[in-house]
Amino acid sequence: MNVDMPDASPMRPNLFSAFRVRDLRLSNRIVLSPMCQYSAVDGLPNAWHQAHYGARMIGGVGLLMLESTAVSAVGRITHGCLGLWNDEHAKALGRLVGTAHELSVPIGVQLNHAGRKGSVQVPWRGGKALQACDDPWPVVAPSALEQSEGFPMPREITRDGIAAVVDQFAAAAARAVQAGFDVVELHVAHGYLLHQFISPLSNRREDAYGGDFEGRVRIVLETVEAVRSVLPAGFPLFVRLSCSDGASDGWGVDEAVRLAVAMRERGVDLVDCTSGGIAAALTRTPGVAFNAEAASRVRTEGGISTGTVGGIVGIDQAQAVLASGQADILFLGRALLSDPFWTLRARRMLNAGDVPAQYLRATF
Stretch 57-86: interaction string toward ligand FMN, x if CB under 6 A: ----------xx------------------
Least distance in angstroms from the C-beta of 85 to ligand FMN = 16
At a CB cut-off of 8 Å and minimum separation 6, what does 308 contact?
Answer: 272, 273, 289, 291, 292, 294, 295, 321, 326, 327, 330, 331
Shorter beta-carbon distance to ligand FMN: residue 173 or 205: 173
Stretches 18-26, 52-60, 183-191, 218-226: which one binds ligand FMN (CB under 6 A)?
Answer: 183-191
List the one residue from 311, 318, 321, 326 that touches ligand FMN (CB under 6 A).
Answer: 311
Residue nearest to ligand FMN (CB): 333
List the one residue from 21, 26, 36, 93 that touches ligand FMN (CB under 6 A).
Answer: 36
Q: Residue 330, interface with ligand FMN (CB under 6 A)? A: no
Helix residue ranges per DSSP H, 59-142:
87-102
Q: Is the dihedral of CA 293, 294, 300, 305 positive or negative?
A: negative
- Out of 38, 53, 192, 209, pick the active-site residue: 192
What is residue 112's DSSP assignment?
E
38 catalytically annotated: no
Shorter beta-carbon distance to ligand FMN: residue 337 or 352: 337
Residue 84 CA to residue 91 CA, distance in Å, equals 10
Q: Residue 310, interface with ligand FMN (CB under 6 A)? A: yes
Least distance in angstroms from the C-beta of 26 to ligand FMN = 17
Q: Residue 34, interface with ligand FMN (CB under 6 A)? A: yes
- Tell me the number of residues near ligand FMN by CB under 6 A: 21
Q: Residue 107, interface with ligand FMN (CB under 6 A)? A: no
Cα dihedral 121/54/185/335 (nearest 10): -70
Q: Residue 49, interface with ligand FMN (CB under 6 A)? A: no
Q: Residue 110, interface with ligand FMN (CB under 6 A)? A: yes
Q: Are 244 and 275 in contact (CB under 8 A)?
A: yes
Q: Residue 35, interface with ligand FMN (CB under 6 A)? A: yes
Shorter beta-carbon distance to ligand FMN: residue 110 or 202: 110
List the one residue from 175, 187, 264, 297 that touches ligand FMN (CB under 6 A).
Answer: 187
The Cα-based distances of 2 to 5, 262, 292, 324 in angstroms read 9, 17, 24, 23
Phi and psi of 24, rounded to 5°?
Answer: -95, 135
Neighbouring CB atoms inside 10 A of 218's CB total 18
Q: Residue 242, interface with ligand FMN (CB under 6 A)? A: no
Shorter beta-carbon distance to ligand FMN: residue 320 or 337: 337
Residue by residue, DSSP assigns 24-50 as EEESSSEEEPP------BTTB--HHHH
Sites for ligand FMN among residues 138-177 (CB under 6 A): none
Element (H, E) at 349: helix 342-349
Least distance in angstroms from the C-beta of 262 to ligand FMN = 21
Nearest-CA neighbor of 45 among 67, 60, 74?
A: 67
Residue 185 CA to residue 172 CA, distance in Å, equals 11
Sites for ligand FMN among residues 256-285 (CB under 6 A): 274
Residues involved in catalysis: 192
Q: Which residues bind ligand FMN (CB under 6 A)?
A: 33-36, 67-68, 110, 187, 189-190, 240, 274, 309-312, 332-335, 337
